[in-house]
Structure 1
């Protein structure tokens, strides 16, 4: 009987997947009923963007990873069932995006994620 290996989420795995723009791998880190909240200029704290479920989160990452830009995870910190990281991105025209993310993990998968981001205008 074949066994399936489930990759546990950690800072190194997040860094590798983000920097390689691997949306499929990123989506695999989420629980089926995961929740992703994005706060930025267009989605303020009173009305954040809410993405529910692994399939919708996969679509979110497919969009991000399809963009012509570089991604660099600069710092990651883990404590218990929480992981936080910072990410700097650059578009070909030089425009930059900076992101901070906090993840709650359950059984090695992302259950909840909050992203706060800002970009050049």
Structure 2
């Protein structure tokens, strides 16, 4: 069952949420029981950080989109119940973050996501 929100996953909805720095807009694209696996330098592929449900996902999105940085959707491809997208971000000091996601969609919302990210240190 979906979140009851009106937002469905489309390239336009994704772009609007990412580029408006909207954690709430992004959260509307997830199913209530969604799962996100995060892989980065701290969360290696054999032991990814796993977020379960909208509450845990909301915390991650609030942290990410609450930062002072520019967020940009670079590419998005949707094929049936799967989508892939890339996002690039830049802090005011020039440091950058790059993220790639592969998602599974259910009823027009994200049910599973693998997020791989890297950033300047």
Q: TM-score range by the shorter chain?
A: over 0.9
Question: For 2:99 and 2:5, how far apart are their aligned partners in 1?
Answer: 30
TM superposition shift of 1:102: 0.8
Question: For 1:73 and 1:6, how far apart are their aligned partners in 2?
Answer: 21
Q: What do you get for the CA RMSD once the two structures are aligned?
A: 1.2
Equivalent residues in 2 for 1:47-86, closer than 5 Å: 47-86=47-86
Who is 1:32 aligned against?
A: 32
Question: C-alpha offsets along residues 49-79 of structure 1, whole Å, 9 cap, x if unaligned?
Answer: 1110011111111111110000111110010
How many equivalent pairs are there?
118
SS at match of 1:41: coil
Moved over 3 A (4+): none
Output the TM-score relative to the length of structure 2.
0.93
Who is 1:117 aligned against?
A: 117
Report if the CA contact (8 A) 2:70-2:91 is conserved.
Answer: yes
TM superposition shift of 1:29: 1.1
TM superposition shift of 1:13: 0.7
Question: For 1:17 and 1:38, how far apart are their aligned partners in 2?
Answer: 19
Point out where structure 2 has 5 or more consecutive residues left out of the alignment: none
Question: C-alpha offsets along residues 7-66 of structure 1, whole Å, 9 cap, x if unaligned?
Answer: 211111111101111111111111111001110111110111111001111111111111
TM superposition shift of 1:6: 2.0
